[in-house]
């Protein structure tokens, strides 16, 4: 069944190009092609949807599919997607039924929602219900297309620390599940913070609807007053700073549950990339495998191979992660060895301390006008050098950013490499301890030549692995204790 006539009326404006938050109907032009983003609620994509997508990538694209840090997909094509493609995408649930709502499906859940024994609740039904609500409310399309909702069901793979405007975090009180409301109050990239409001699970959608409608009214007012800068819709955090959190929360006063919010549990084990590798599911006898996707980029053959594995050995779907990797779920124990081998045969990895698991990079100057450096190529050079010359034995996180905006990763990293000019990077390590605007970490080098980075990383990581206090001391803990001048000297003599 094809889409409604409303949709056909809108085709005259389809695939206009813009530099802001590309969607399927509003692609962005980059140096390396026309960039379209496919929003996938909770990062779920079925094997059949992969097949449809691959047909388009192979026909119009550059043979590559990219996972974003919001667990969506991006493709680059040489020309704007044609009507036939968009209609197919609609038929298979890869695009909204109308252009206007396509940019609004930005919602996140833990990649292990519904399969994690530690979780308090399966949030996938909530994601689907909220997605359905958004698609029924085209009046919400005036909102910033960065408006983002997150559901954290208390899984071992937490997502409550991901930057989102609204995050609902499951908590248990007297054997009942409630949601602790978190709002993105801080700066860009900060985790949402609890506002000490509990919501019962059967009122979550009403609460989200009320909060969203209030935000819509604020947006409309600002746009009508034309007081907002650059004529773009305001972000939710601007409402919170402008009108205050208390005023915003008044709109949900009647839904508030009076109770004491239990302390939130920390991430299991505190290790990064804990979703990678083989893990048991709460469903007895079934396992999921977290697959390392180098720099979040898959070839069409790799995606086809993974979709095939999900179809033949798993639950028929892939789960994309906000860390730009993916999970194949529902694999029987007897098939684990075979599936693992086939993943390796595709040129992918499952080890959480593989060099490619360590690195996140933004699109760099080939995909973004703000970039000083070719972050993708420089990140690849480091990963392939480390792969050949050393064995990492603890997961670490290197983050390449072409400029200060830090698109690929908003949270702090172990090592941050930030483009300075076309040939060099600023390098930061560990936790930032000052109060300036740039908070990548402590500055190890103000300028370092891009072509010398692989050798530098090898030396730095070897120093960490040979001088740390014990095998469980993370790179972050190690480097936070270091005197950086002394560390530079050790590196220069390594």
Lateral strand order in the sheet of 193-200? 107-109, 149-152, 166-173, 176-183, 193-200
Closer CB to ligand SF4, 213 or 443, in the complex: 443
Q: For residue 447, count CB atoms less than 10 angstroms from its CB and return exposed for 0-12, middle for 13-18, buried for 19 or more.
A: exposed
* Min CB(373)–ligand SF4 separation in Å: 8
**Cβ contact 155:116 at 8 Å:** yes
By beta-carbon proximity to ligand SF4, the closer residue of 161 and 374 is 374
Minimum CB–partner distance for residue 63 and ligand SF4 (Å)? 21
Which residue blocks in 198-335 are alpha helix, DSSP H? 204-225, 236-243, 245-250, 300-313
Nearest-approach distance from CB 400 to ligand SF4, in angstroms: 8
**322 versus 402: smaller Cβ distance to ligand SF4:** 402
63-95 CB burial, b ≥16 within 10 A, e <16? ebbbbbbbbbbbbbbeebbbeebbbbbbeebbb
What is the nearest approach in angstroms of ligand SF4 to the Cβ of residue 328? 28
CB 432 within 8 A of CB 416: no
Instruction: Return left, alpha or beta for 232; rule: phi > 0 is left, psi -120 to 50 is alpha, else beta.
Output: beta
Nearest Cα to Cα of residue 56 among 38, 77, 70? 77
Count of CB atoms situated within 10 Å of the CB of 470 = 5
For 392-485, where are the E strands, in sequence order?
398-401, 415-421, 424-429, 442-449
For ligand SF4, the closer of residues 75 and 240 by Cβ is 75
CB of 332 to ligand SF4, least distance (A): 40
Q: Which is nearer to ligand SF4, 297 or 405 (CB)?
A: 405
Q: Which residue is nearest to ligand SF4 (CB)?
A: 402
- Rounded Cα gap, residues 50 and 59, in angstroms: 14
List residues near ligand SF4 by CB under 6 A. 362-363, 368, 370-371, 401-403, 405-407
Tell me whether residue 282 or residue 405 sits nearer to ligand SF4 (CB atom). 405
Least gap, CB of 34 to ligand SF4 (angstroms): 16
Give the residue carrying structure tokens 């008044």. Answer: 250
Q: In the structure encoding, which two tokens stand for residue 235, read together?
A: 């972000």
At closest approach, how far in Å is the CB of 264 from ligand SF4?
29
Task: Return the closest-CA partner of residue 463 out of 441, 436, 439, 444.
Answer: 444
Q: What is the nearest approach in angstroms of ligand SF4 to the Cβ of residue 222?
A: 24
Q: Which is nearer to ligand SF4, 32 or 51 (CB)?
A: 32
Complex with ligand SF4: residue 34 or 140, whichever CB lies closer: 34
């Amino acid at each position: 069944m094809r889409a409604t006539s409303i949709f056909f009326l809108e085709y005259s404006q389809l695939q206009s190009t813009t530099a802001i938050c590309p969607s399927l109907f509003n692609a962005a032009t980059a140096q390396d092609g026309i960039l379209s983003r496919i929003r996938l609620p909770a990062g779920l994509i079925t094997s059949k949807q992969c097949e449809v997508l691959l047909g388009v990538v192979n026909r119009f694209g550059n043979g590559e599919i990219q996972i974003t840090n919001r667990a969506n997909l991006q493709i680059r094509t040489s020309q704007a997607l044609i009507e036939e493609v968009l209609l197919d995408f609609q038929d298979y649930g890869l695009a909204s039924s109308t252009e206007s709502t396509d940019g609004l499906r930005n919602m996140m859940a833990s990649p292990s929602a519904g399969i994690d024994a530690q979780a308090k609740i399966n949030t996938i039904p909530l994601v689907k219900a909220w997605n359905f609500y958004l698609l029924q409310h085209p009046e919400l399309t005036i909102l910033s297309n960065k408006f983002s909702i997150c559901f954290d069901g208390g899984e071992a793979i937490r997502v409550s620390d991901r930057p989102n405007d609204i995050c609902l975090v499951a908590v248990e009180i007297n054997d009942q599940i409630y949601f602790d409301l978190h709002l993105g109050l801080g700066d860009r990239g900060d985790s949402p913070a609890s506002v000490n409001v509990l919501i019962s699970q059967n009122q979550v959608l009403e609460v989200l609807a009320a909060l969203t409608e209030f935000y819509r009214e604020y947006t409309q007012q600002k746009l009508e007053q034309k007081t907002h800068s650059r004529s773009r819709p305001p972000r939710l955090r601007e409402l919170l700073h402008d009108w205050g959190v208390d005023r915003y929360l008044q709109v949900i006063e009647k839904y508030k549950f009076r109770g004491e919010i239990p302390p939130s549990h920390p991430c299991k084990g505190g290790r990064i990339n804990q979703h990678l590798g083989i893990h048991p599911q709460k469903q007895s006898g079934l396992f999921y495998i977290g697959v390392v996707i180098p720099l979040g980029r898959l070839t069409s053959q790799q995606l086809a191979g993974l979709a095939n594995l999900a179809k033949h050995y798993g639950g028929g779907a892939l789960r994309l992660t906000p860390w730009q990797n993916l999970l194949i779920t529902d694999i029987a124990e007897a098939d684990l060895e075979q599936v693992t081998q086939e993943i390796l045969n595709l040129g992918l990895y499952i080890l959480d301390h593989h060099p490619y698991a360590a690195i996140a990079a933004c699109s760099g100057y080939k995909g973004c006008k703000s970039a000083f450096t070719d972050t993708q190529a420089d990140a690849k050079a480091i990963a392939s050098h480390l792969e050949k010359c050393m064995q990492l034995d603890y997961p670490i996180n290197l983050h390449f950013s072409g400029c200060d905006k830090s698109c690929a990763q908003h949270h702090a990293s172990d090592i941050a490499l930030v483009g300075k000019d076309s040939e060099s990077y600023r390098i930061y390590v560990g936790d930032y301890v000052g109060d300036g605007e740039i908070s990548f970490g402590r500055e190890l080098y103000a300028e370092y030549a891009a072509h010398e980075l692989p050798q530098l990383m090898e030396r730095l990581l070897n120093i960490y692995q040979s001088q740390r206090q014990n095998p469980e001391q993370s790179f972050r803990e190690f480097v936070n204790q270091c005197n950086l001048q002394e560390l530079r000297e050790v590196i220069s003599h390594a």
